[in-house]
Structure 1
Amino acid sequence: MPSWMSLCFQDPCSPLMSQFSFLHDHVMMIMTVVIVFISYIMICTLFSSFYYKHFSEGTFIESIWSIIPAFLLIILVVPSMSILYMSEDIKSPSLTFKVVAHQWYWTYVCPLLNGFSYCVKGGDVHSLYEYDSFMEPHELSSDFPRLLGSSSDLYLPVNTTLRFMISSTDVIHSFAVPSLGLKVDALPGRINQLFANPVRLGSFFGQCSEICGSNHSFMPISVKVCSLAEFDSVSTYYLLDLLDLSSFSV
């Protein structure tokens, strides 16, 4: 979870976020070396009484300051493209979740485990269930960080490849959970997708990261990574709570 005066990313909960952290450290190290080197040259040039006539123009120096930046760009692009490919090239996710943004709450559409389905009185068969998640008042969510507690958690099974389909019903929102490496705009009339593979149990928090109105910071996201057995029991709980028991069938 985020903390005051923190200079680093939150602890990663997925391999993708670990790669993002590595790329950040990789880029920052190269930038630091370049800045120190250029600053040293500028200071030496500024305070030196000597002038090297081939330093400002010449074939050799122009070749140097063209080749070195190109080489540095290659060093930066290769890991960046690798992470981009890894984040998008997901062939067959195990479960698909749909996240719909509203002002000022989220709606989660979750699948049932093992391909189960339920039948309502009208005869329609469904394999999904949905529920809304609002921000909890601070006095009711004392166990959670302030302004990050929500009325309903999004339960995700651990060590499972997951796909998120994100959309909006009104304005542009942004679904962001830093520990999972998730951040994408929720656009009305369009569906964006993200992938995740959480590798450890725990509770993780995020919120709307788009300036979608005066209350956009009051759209918290509370994610709980759990075991498959707990995910199955949570699915059953929501179904029994939303449906009439007499119309439930597996």
Structure 2
Amino acid sequence: MIGAAIAALSGFAGGAFAAQPTEWQMGLQPAVTSVMDDITWFNSFTLVIITVITLFVLALLLWCIFRFNAKANPTPSRTSHNTMIEVVWTLAPILILVMISIPSFRLLYKQIEVPEYDMTIKATGLQWAWSYAYTDEGMEDVILDSYMLDNEGRAEKAAQFNRPAEEFPRLLAVDYEMVVPVDKVVRLQVTAADVLHSFAMPAFGVKMDAVPGRLNETWFKAEKTGIYYGQCSELCGKDHAFMPIAIRVVEEEQYQAWADAAKDDVDAANEQLMASINAAAKTADAGTGELDVATR
């Protein structure tokens, strides 16, 4: 039993991580960037404050209901005001807002202040797809137009690359994914070619408006390999719900091999990348099996 648990944990660590919406999901998607870690913390922090305030107000309401009803208080007080209470209910909200604002501004600054970056990708919103242009030297000709796959396309892609079907979820899988290396700072430039769009990747803590004629910037540094899904988050027309975002994070060596091949043929580069991912997964599974046998 212990061996099985270790094997499961090892398999998870060595396998590809995937972040996407799940059925009956209550919380945020798992974080794979430091920005999303901070967003998750801030969400929990504000939830605690809101919960305390709600319970406090509820307690006051109940106390007033039972303490000052006509039966318990037949002779009501004629007090018109209380200086101490007025000072408290003025200062308390101010202090609460200060408590919230300090980490809020710190997080906002972290999101919009692009650190020293390793590569740049320009994402252009279209009706209704995304176009990714790799703008670094030597990669200028690599442009990926990313369209959502229908059910048949999802099945074909899973079969073509010998990947599990659940890796290409309905309404989220695309024909061409953005490919980036793990643990590298990616500067993301966001714009639109027609109407307002919004580039949103929940697992990265990224959401940036795509505005025609304007180039907005944000960044991310993915800390786990895998496939991550987002969607356009600005109502942009009849197919707004059908322009997902897919980012595949791979090892540095895998990315370099993909980038070199993509300069000539993106389709061939994707096939080579998937073959490398499958080979790495088999090696990880073989190592996990050996660990499981040794443990038992």
1:7 CA displacement: 0.6
Task: Say if 2:133 and 2:140, in contact at 8 Å, map to a contact too.
Answer: no
Give 1 or 2: higher helix fraction.
Answer: 2
Match of 1:76 in 2: 100
Which structure 2 segments of 5+ residues have no match? 1-19, 156-164, 267-296
Equivalent of residue 130 in structure 2, options 92, 106, 126 = 106
Distance 1:127 1:170, change over 3 A: closer
1:183-202 aligned within 5 A? 183-202=207-226
> What is the CA–CA distance in structure 1 between the aligned matches of 2:209 and 2:144, rounded to whole Å?
20
What residue number does 2:242 align with?
Answer: 218
1:20 correspondence with 2:39 = yes
Secondary structure, counterpart of 2:169 in structure 1: coil
Aligned AA for 1:79?
Answer: P
What is aligned with 2:56? 37
Q: What do you get for the CA RMSD once the two structures are aligned? A: 1.6
* Bigger strand fraction: 1
State which of 141, 146, 171 in structure 2 corresponds to 1:133.
Answer: 146
Q: Return the alpha-carbon distance in structure 2 between the equivalents of residues 52 and 20 of structure 1.
A: 47
Instruction: Please list every run of 5 or more consecutive structure 1 residues that lacks an aligned counterpart in the other structure.
Output: 118-125, 243-250
Q: Shift of residue 90 of structure 1?
A: 2.6
Q: Distance in 2 between matches of 1:20 and 1:46?
A: 38
Q: Which amino acid aligns with 2:190?
A: I
Partner SS for 1:199:
coil
Q: CA deviation at 1:91?
A: 3.6
TM superposition score normalised by structure 1: 0.87
Task: Kindly provide the amino acid, as one letter, of the partner of residue 139 in structure 1.
Answer: E
**Partner amino acid for 2:223?**
V
Cα 1:227–1:59 change in 2 (3 A) is same
Verify the 8 A CA contact 2:144 2:178 in the aligned structure 1: no
Pairwise CA distance, 1:88:
2.2
> Tell me, what secondary structure is at the counterpart of 2:154?
coil
Q: Per-residue CA shift, 1:180-226, capped at 9, x if unaligned? A: 11111111111111111111111000111111011111101111011
TM-score, normalising length from structure 2? 0.74
